[in-house]
């Protein structure tokens, strides 16, 4: 595939899953991604596990790791220490996120901590890393849950860009027009940094319904019906892969600069998507 692409993985939730994740990382790395991102839990709950995973990518592959980082629920001193520890470990690419409130927290409470936005986190990472770091941010084609208008999402993205963000990775969506409409509006408003669509191949009905519940995204009715009618897990996987391939083709045709694939810590599906994208439609 000629268009750049990248992957997201998350730290293993149990120690016994670490070997499988390492095998997946090796398989993903062999496909030649621009980078592999590693997620980070609320309040830094997976800090050590995230850093271990980032180090593994850096030390055992030729691919650059990119660290998710959140500032929710932390002091400025705490997040500064975290940024410094990642930079000291050789991690120079970051995805700056405000982060979600801890489970059970009231969003109206003072859970945010001393840094209240991803924009402030972008500034802090650049201040600590100088010219050594690259900072990405999140974009929300269908709106951040706490945004009041679509324009507010674009205004926030402009602020992140002004703070030093070099590119954006979108949250998931299921229709190409969601991304294309958002990207066009952002460009018109003055966003010049690349906006990379995040694609999540969904290969089971249960996972689809769980994702929609968590994210608040609109249920893709065609995909739901198709997965519901699947006669086997293998058929469901094929359906989910085909849906992701069609979405990626529409995004590429619409001018997406790259593709970011959520791997769910397994490589078969996302590599199948890339393989099919390399074939004639």
pLDDT for the residue numbered 130: 85
* Segment 232-264, tens digit of pLDDT: 999 999 999 999 999 999 999 999 999 999 999
Residue 158 banded pLDDT, cuts 50, 70, 90: very high
Q: Where exactly are the structural domains of the chain?
A: 5-277
Q: How far apart are CA 163 and CA 218, in angstroms?
A: 31
Alpha carbon 23 to chain centroid, angstroms: 21
Of the options 3.40.50.620, 1.10.510.10, 3.40.50.2300, 3.20.20.220, the CATH number for the domain spanning 5-277: 3.20.20.220
Tokens 């609320």 correspond to 42
Q: Where do runs of H (alpha helix) occur along the chain?
A: 18-30, 47-60, 76-88, 118-129, 150-163, 176-189, 205-215, 221-228, 233-253, 268-277
Predicted confidence (pLDDT) per residue in 217-237, tens digit: 889 999 999 999 999 999 999
Question: If 0-12 CB within 10 Å is exposed, 13-18 middle and 19+ buried, where does residue 200 land?
Answer: buried
Q: Is 175 a catalytic residue?
A: no
The position carrying tokens 């094929």 is 238
Question: Which of 8, 64, 123, 217 is an active site residue?
Answer: 8
The whole-number pLDDT of residue 106 equals 54
Q: Which of 1-5, 91-95, 157-161, 275-279 has the lowest mean pLDDT?
A: 1-5
Percent of the chain exceeding pLDDT 70 equals 92
Q: Are 169 and 208 in contact (CB under 8 A)?
A: no
């Amino acid at each position: 595939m000629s268009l750049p692409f990248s992957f997201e993985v998350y730290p293993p939730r149990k120690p016994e899953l670490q070997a499988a994740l390492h095998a997946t990382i090796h398989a993903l790395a062999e496909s030649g991604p621009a980078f592999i991102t590693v997620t980070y839990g609320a309040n830094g709950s997976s800090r050590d596990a995230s850093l271990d995973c980032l180090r593994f990518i850096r030390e055992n592959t030729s691919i650059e790791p990119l660290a998710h980082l959140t500032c929710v629920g932390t002091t400025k001193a705490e997040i500064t220490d975290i940024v410094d520890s990642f930079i000291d470990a050789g991690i120079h690419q970051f995805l700056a996120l405000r982060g979600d409130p801890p489970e059970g927290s009231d969003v109206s409470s003072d859970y945010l901590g001393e840094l209240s936005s991803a924009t402030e986190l972008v500034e802090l990472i650049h201040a600590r890393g100088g010219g050594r770091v690259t900072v990405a941010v999140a974009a929300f084609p269908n709106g951040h849950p706490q945004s009041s208008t679509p324009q507010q999402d674009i205004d926030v993205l402009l602020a992140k860009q002004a703070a030093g963000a070099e590119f954006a990775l979108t949250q998931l969506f299921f229709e190409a027009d969601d991304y294309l409409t958002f990207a066009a509006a952002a460009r018109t408003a003055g966003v010049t940094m690349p906006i990379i669509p995040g694609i999540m191949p969904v290969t089971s009905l249960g996972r689809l319904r769980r994702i929609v519940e968590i994210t608040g995204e609109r249920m893709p009715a065609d995909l739901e019906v198709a997965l519901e009618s699947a006669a086997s897990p293998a058929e469901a996987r094929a359906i989910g892969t085909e849906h992701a391939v069609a979405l990626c083709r529409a995004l590429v045709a619409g001018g997406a600069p790259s593709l970011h694939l959520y791997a769910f810590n397994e490589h078969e599906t996302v590599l199948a998507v890339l393989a099919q994208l390399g074939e004639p439609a």
